[in-house]
Structure 1
Amino acid sequence: MTNLLVIEASPRGKNSVSHNMAAEYVDEWRHANPDGKVIRRDLTHTALKFTDAPWLAAYFTPPEKQSTEMKDALKLSDELVEELLSADVVVIGTPVYNYNVPAVLKAWFDHVVRKGITLGFSGEGLLKGKRCTVLLASGGVYTVGSPIRERDIATQWLRLILNVLGIENVEFVPAGGTKVIDLGEQSRAEYMEPIIPLIREAVNP
């Protein structure tokens, strides 16, 4: 059985473009993988903490020496890591804020980059063989030919950190110019129409 992990990071929920992109991806993936399992993780409804001193103390303590408090500090991280480890395919649906990913998505990566579990002690990624599609919604347009393409920090950073974890098969489906929806110039359905075929292609490359 193939497992799909869906990570979402938009506070707009069902009203967000990235959520609707993820929904399209999941529908197409279910059609292609009728026996597959979908694991959903909405980061805006997850009690994610930014890494703090107690978390770091637990992180750098060998498991056999961790106190009960340390194990508690890593409990959510352990859960998130297990979800990632169990996935064959990962899809990340996220908006872009100020040229980069939302803080909740950065926090998720901070929780799942774990030495000895997802990252080797010599720095090698341990998640080889997994595939990831990033569904990236942004008010600006950062694709080839854009005058602000060099501001596309989100794509650069996501590709970097996924590669560090060993996920080298990474595809991006950019949805730029989403501000036309907020400005009332297009409905979300109208905006999504040319994006949907790109999402379907990403499911079945």
Structure 2
Amino acid sequence: MATILHIDSSARPGRSDLAPHGSHSRRLTARFIENWLQHRPDDTIMYRDVGANPPAPVTGDWIHAAFTKPDQREHWMQDVLAESDMLIDELLKADVIVAGVPMYNFGMPAQMKAWIENIVRVRRTFGFDRSRGTIPYWPMVTDNKSVVVLSSRGDYGYNPGERIAHLNHVEGGVFTPLEYIGITDHHSAAIEYDEFADTRTHQSIMTAENDTAKIVEKLVAQHGT
């Protein structure tokens, strides 16, 4: 059996296929889960809505606690890191992470960034040792996980090689830190033309849903044994 960590980060509370002002990214992640369960109904789905309930941002106390060796931490340090520990434990249980990450001002929502800041952590998901010389860092998430980013964009042309690809910091903003901790299998799909509200929007939705279904088929074959 596989375990899927389903994350939504949109500030919009509903899905665009069910609510007039709903979220496209929530729509895509829901479709991903629905398609996955059609193939493997007994797999485990963990759900976290960071859009509605964002993790606490990293603070000076958090940094102090994280860089203190576990056997030297005071009780308050353990309390400060408790949410981070919970989020990391979820991540480590998952075989596939599917995240709905809409584009806000060319990057990910702050809620999603807070999740990333909490799961990229020394001694838990990456190692650091000065004695290793010029490359003192190494990834600690060594099992074969996959991450899927399902996004939405008001404009169009953000895909690699297209007219404004250089302005897109969503997928890279998620994939880069996750690759740093050891998750290197990346997949993505996105709805564009949202602000145009015309036939191009509807066509983009259909294309993104089809792309999402293809990602599911690939990952079911990859993780479904």
Are 2:88 and 2:119, in contact at CA under 8 Å, matched by a contact in 1? yes
Are 2:51 and 2:112, in contact at CA under 8 Å, matched by a contact in 1? no
Are 2:10 and 2:101, in contact at CA under 8 Å, matched by a contact in 1? yes
Per the alignment, residue 59 of structure 1 pairs with 66
Per the alignment, residue 45 of structure 1 pairs with 52
Are 1:17 and 1:188, in contact at CA under 8 Å, matched by a contact in 2? no
Q: CA RMSD in A?
A: 1.8
Cα offset, 1:105, TM superposition: 0.8
Listed as ranges, the gaps of 5+ residues in structure 1 are none
What residue identity is the alignment partner of 1:146?
E
Give the number of aligned pairs: 202
TM-score (norm 1): 0.91
Per the alignment, residue 168 of structure 1 pairs with 184
Match of 1:137 among 147, 152, 171: 152
Cα offset, 1:91, TM superposition: 0.4
Q: Percent identity?
A: 28
Are 2:4 and 2:45, in contact at CA under 8 Å, matched by a contact in 1? yes
What residue identity is the alignment partner of 1:2?
A
Match of 1:193 among 190, 206, 219: 206
Indicate yes or no: 2:145 matched with 1:126. no
Are 2:7 and 2:100, in contact at CA under 8 Å, matched by a contact in 1? yes
TM-score (norm 2): 0.83
Cα offset, 1:31, TM superposition: 1.3
Are 2:4 and 2:98, in contact at CA under 8 Å, matched by a contact in 1? yes
Cα offset, 1:204, TM superposition: 1.1
Per-residue CA deviations over 1:147-184 (Å, capped at 9, x if unaligned) read 21111122222221121121111011122222234xxx
Per-residue CA deviations over 1:104-150 (Å, capped at 9, x if unaligned) read 11111100011122112242222231011110111122024532111
Cα offset, 1:43, TM superposition: 0.3
Q: Which runs of 4+ in 1 moved over 6 A?
A: 187-190
Are 1:140 and 1:176, in contact at CA under 8 Å, matched by a contact in 2? yes
Deviates more, 1:136-145 or 1:80-89: 136-145
1: CA distance, partners of 2:138 / 2:113: 20
Match of 1:77 among 74, 84, 107: 84
Are 2:192 and 2:204, in contact at CA under 8 Å, matched by a contact in 1? no
SS in 2 for 1:140: coil
